[in-house]
Amino acid sequence: MKKIYFSIFCIVLTGNLFAQNQKDTVITMKDVVINENRFNTPISKQNRNVYVIDNVTIAKLPGRTLQEVLQYANGIDIRQRGAFGGQADISVDGGSFEQTVLLLNGTKIIDMQTAHNMLNLPIPVEAIERIEIVRGPAARIYGINSLTGAINIVTKKPTSSGVLVSTYAGSNFEKNTDGNGNTFVGGGVQAGGVLSKKNHQHSIFGSYDKGNGYRFNTGFENNKLLYQGNFQLDELNTIDALFGYVKSGFGANGFYASPGDRNSDEHVQTTLASIQSKHQISNKWTLMPRLSYRYNFDDYRYFGPTNLNAGRSRHYSNSFSAELNTSYKIAKGEFGFGAEARKDDINSTSIGERDRDNLGIYAQYRTQLLEKLNVNIGTYLNYNSDYKWQIYPGLDASYEIASGVKFVTNIGTSQRIPSFTDLYLNQRPGNIGNENLSSENALQAELGLKIDKGNFNFNANYFYRTIDKFIDWTRSVTTDPWQSNNIGDLQTNGINFRANYNFAVAEKSKININLGYSYLDSEFKNINSQLAFKYLISSLKHQVTNTVDFRYSNFSVLLATRFNERMQGPSYWINDVRLSQSVDKFTFFLDAQNIFDTTYNEIGAIPLPSRWMSLGVKFVSF
Of 341, 410, 437, residue with least CA distance to 149:
410
Give a yes or no: residue 1 inside a domain: no
**3-state DSSP assignment of residue 117:** helix
* Measured distance CA(578)–CA(339) in Å, rounded: 44
In this prediction, residue 17 has a pLDDT band, given cuts at 50, 70 and 90, of very low
Quick one: pLDDT at residue 44?
Answer: 61
Question: Each residue of 503-538: pLDDT tens digit?
Answer: 998 888 999 999 999 999 999 988 888 888 887 767
Q: Look at residue 87 and tell me whether its pLDDT is greater than 70.
A: yes
Amino acid letter for position 84:
F
State phi, psi for 58 to the nearest 5 degrees. -60, -40
pLDDT given at position 139: 82
Q: What is the domain extent for residue 585?
A: 6-620
- Domain assignment present for 343: yes
Bridge partners (DSSP) of residue 496 are: 461, 518
Three-point CA angle 448, 453, 456, nearest 5°: 85
Rounded to whole angstroms, what are the CA distances from 362 to 188, 282, 391, 430?
43, 21, 10, 40
Contact 51, 494 (CB under 8 A): no
Does the residue 614 lie in any domain?
yes
Question: How high is the pLDDT of residue 25?
Answer: 36
CA dist., res. 100 & res. 443, Å (int): 14
How many percent of the chain have pLDDT more than 70? 93
SS3 614: strand
- Contact (CB, 8 A) for 557 and 590: no
* Tally of domains within the chain: 1
Reduce the secondary structure of 231-265 to three states and give it as a string.
Answer: EEEECCEEEEEEEEEEEEEEECCCCCCCCCCCCCE
Dihedrals phi, psi of 94, to nearest 5 degrees:
85, 5
Closest Cα partner for 273 from 320, 326, 205, 334?
320
Q: What is the pLDDT of residue 45?
A: 67
The burial of 476, by beta-carbon neighbours within 10 Å (0-12 exposed, 13-18 middle, 19 or more buried), is given as exposed
Q: In what order do the strands lie in the sheet with 128-135?
A: 50-54, 128-135, 149-155, 100-104, 107-109
Measured distance between the N- and C-terminal CA atoms of the chain, rounded to whole angstroms? 44
How many other CB atoms are found less than 10 A from the CB of residue 492? 20
In contact, 145 and 101? CB cutoff 8 Å: yes
Q: What is the dihedral of CA 394, 400, 405, 409, to 10 degrees?
A: -20
37-46, 278-287, 453-462, 608-617: least confidently modelled range: 37-46
Q: In b/e form, how buried is each residue of 296-309, taking b as 16+ CB within 10 angstroms?
A: bebbbbbbbeeeee
SS3 57: helix
Residue 43: the pLDDT is: 64
**Which pLDDT belongs to residue 537?**
65
pLDDT tens-digit profile of 24-54?
333 344 567 776 776 766 666 678 888 899 9
Coil, helix or strand at residue 44: helix
- pLDDT at residue 530, as a whole number: 84
- β-pairing verdict for 149-155 and 100-104: parallel
Across 374-383, average pLDDT:
95
Which residue(s) pair with 373 in the sheet? 399
Distance CA 541, CA 548 (A): 24
C-alpha closest to that of 437 among 415, 469, 414:
469
Residue 95 has a pLDDT of: 87
pLDDT in tens, 544-565: 999 999 999 999 999 999 999 9
Torsion of CA 7, 10, 16, 22, to 10 degrees: -90
Provide the b/e sequence for 190-218 (b: ≥16 CB within 10 Å): bebbbebeeeebbbbbbbebebbbbbbbb
Q: For residue 10, what is the domain's CATH number?
A: 2.40.170.20
- DSSP lists the bridge partners of residue 165 as 191, 619
In-domain check, residue 209: yes
Task: Give the lowest-confidence range in 4-13, 100-109, 557-566.
Answer: 4-13
Between CA 136 and CA 139 the distance in angstroms is 10
The pLDDT confidence band at residue 14, using thresholds 50, 70 and 90, is very low
DSSP code, position 43: G
Mean pLDDT of 304-316: 92
* Pairwise CA distance, residues 233 & 254, whole Å: 52
Query: Of the ranges 188-192, 348-352, 353-357, 474-478, which one carries the lowest mean pLDDT score?
Result: 474-478
Q: Is the pLDDT of residue 253 over 70?
A: yes
- pLDDT tens digits, residue range 388-445? 999 999 999 999 999 999 999 999 999 999 999 999 999 888 889 999 999 999 999 9
Query: Predicted confidence band at 1 (pLDDT cuts at 50, 70, 90)?
Result: very low
pLDDT at position 271, please? 97
